[in-house]
Amino acid sequence: MIRTWNEESLDHRNALLYAMGITEEDAKRPIIGILNSWNEMNPGHFPFRDVIAELKEEIYQAGGLALELPVSGICDGICSNTPGDRYTLPSRDLVSTEVETLAELNMLEGMLLLSTCDKVVPGMLMGALKVNIPTVMFTGGYMAAGHYQGEMLTLTHTKQAFAAYQGGKLSKEDYKGIVRSACPTPGACPFMGTANTMCATAELLGFSPFGNASVRSQTEKWHALAREAARRLVQLVQQEIRPLDVITRDNFENVVRYMMATGGSTNSILHIPAMARMAGIDIDPVFFDKISAEVPWISAIYPNHKTYTMEEFDRAGGLNAVVGELLEAGKIIGTAKGMFGTTVAMAQGSRSLDANVIRSCADPIHPHGGLAVLKGNIAPESCIVKFAAIPRGLWTFSGPAKVYESQDDAWQAMLNDKIVAGDVVVIRYEGPKGSPGMPHMETFMAAVLGKKMGSDIALVSDGRFSGATGGLAIGHVSPEAYDGGPIAFIQNGDMIHIDIEHRSLMVDISTEELAKRKKGWKPLVKPATGYLALYRKMTSSAHRGASIYWDL
């Protein structure tokens, strides 16, 4: 058994189980917690209601007793461009705390984690790595792409449409039609954003059954994978195989290699180091950039491609085909092991079924991975750019700074045409401590794209972005403004120079001038109470995962 009970404690627990109709014989089975993030506010987690009975049946038939326990399951999209967005990144650490607490308080023998979305997947995995009892994760699959008047849609298109509507370039009828049509089914938003990147992370780390990360939600195949996950978990419990018996640095490296090959979400550079930290493994943004130089970018779906979504990616072979192409080229570690087998087994012998969607490493979209880590006198530690979503002609950009202390101020300026072509917009005090909570700068960039100015304006911020963000957006500037990073001292009109190829972000301020501007400086302190105040007090920087657990 994973847990050790004395007779009195076990009987005390069982007395409470009997109250809910659990028999004396069933109470002798290993109790497996189904930690379920299902709720009615999140389409990514909504499908789990359909699969609970199957999971419980499989676990019971294999010799375990499955009991369902709720865990928070937030959706970033629900609170986008509201004060609630400050809670989304901090919710990751909250979820990890819930998983840890439920597992330890209830003395679970194993956990089946049900999760799909941006912060919930990494939060649950952080908790699983802390607890280190037999665990698998089953993710919710992707939603269908939307369509309106023959054009492909995803959730992020609604933000672009709003800017176009506000600017008089789109009728109200068409704008509302896009909103109604953007999300036609439950599941993860069908672009290469954080949700699908994190579902892939769960599979590549070894927690999910092969094929789970790129399966359509609520399909027959999705249900079959759920049953496979349940059966495998009972075997892990019976054999007492824990995550850290299997998962090593090689698994985390494979996650980064896959991300680079697919132009995954910039949020991963917050989540992967935070997860690795729970396993006693140190990863920083420099590691991502090193892998970026080694692994070619071979697959592009929205926002890295105008029309391809997870539907096309799935038909081309999905994650397994990408892994197969990387294995063929020696660009991924085939011997890395997980709960379901090695990386070689994960590929299942797959290769791309559509070279337009998933290319070979010999014929890549670009010889380097889709994310880049920049440094310079604006970001002495690091900052992040998803250059897979940026036209090559914008990899160098120079312009005068236009400075805002919040995304909302910049967004309003964009809607009211106060930002012009050539500007480098600086949005600061939106980092982990400054906001606090490090909300998305997605709404501002969607307005830029909606106004057809994606090639005319750059953004530099200590905030972060949705994985669906397109355009020249540089985030995670570290140190952040709240901590006295140089971004706090940029003034309107300062010339900023971006050079993605050479990994550089610079402002024309001398060391002497910077020191002069720092004299007497005090940070802008935005209001925060409750959990956000606690998060501000305890969180690490974006360079170190923006986690309250980094130094614990």
What type of residue sits at position 319?
L
Q: What letter would DSSP give residue 358? A: B
| Contact predicate 324/317, CB 8 Å | yes
Q: Is the pLDDT of residue 466 over 90?
A: no
The Cα–Cα gap between 463 and 427 comes to 8
Mean per-residue pLDDT of the chain: 96
pLDDT level of residue 471 (50, 70, 90 thresholds): confident
| pLDDT at residue number 467 | 63
Average pLDDT over residues 15-35: 98
| pLDDT at residue number 287 | 95
Average pLDDT over residues 306-331: 98
Average pLDDT over residues 239-262: 97
39 CB-near residues (< 8 Å, 6+ apart): 45, 46, 73
- Provide DSSP, 114-148: E--STTHHHHHHHHHHHH-SSEEEE---BPPPEEE
The predicted-structure confidence for 39-78, as pLDDT tens digits, reads as follows 999 999 999 999 999 999 999 999 999 999 999 999 999 9
DSSP-derived 3-state class of residue 204: helix
Q: Which of 359-368, 383-392, 470-479, 503-512 is predicted least confidently?
A: 383-392
DSSP-derived 3-state class of residue 427: strand
| Contact predicate 155/108, CB 8 Å | no
pLDDT level of residue 449 (50, 70, 90 thresholds): confident
Among all chains, which residue has been given the structure tokens 């709003």? 162
Q: Is the pLDDT of residue 469 over 80?
A: no
182 CB-near residues (< 8 Å, 6+ apart): 146, 148, 153, 154, 155, 157, 158
| pLDDT at residue number 321 | 98
Among all chains, which residue has been given the structure tokens 């299942």? 348
Q: What letter would DSSP give residue 438? A: -
Average pLDDT over residues 214-228: 98
**Helix axes of 268-278 and 194-205: crossing angle, nearest 10 degrees:** 30
| pLDDT at residue number 468 | 65
Q: Is the pLDDT of residue 470 over 80?
A: no
Q: Percentage of the chain surpassing pLDDT 90?
A: 92
Q: Which of 87-96, 137-146, 160-169, 254-263 is predicted least confidently?
A: 160-169
Q: List, by residue number, the catalytic residues.
A: 466
pLDDT level of residue 254 (50, 70, 90 thresholds): very high
| pLDDT at residue number 387 | 83
| pLDDT at residue number 415 | 93
| pLDDT at residue number 442 | 84
- Give CA separation, 121 vs 114, 289, 341, 399, in Å: 8, 23, 20, 38
Question: Which sign does the torsion angle of CA 73, 79, 84, 89 carry?
Answer: positive
Q: Which of 22-36, 344-358, 359-373, 439-453 is predicted least confidently?
A: 439-453
| pLDDT at residue number 296 | 97
Question: Which sign does the torsion angle of CA 501, 503, 505, 509 carry?
Answer: negative
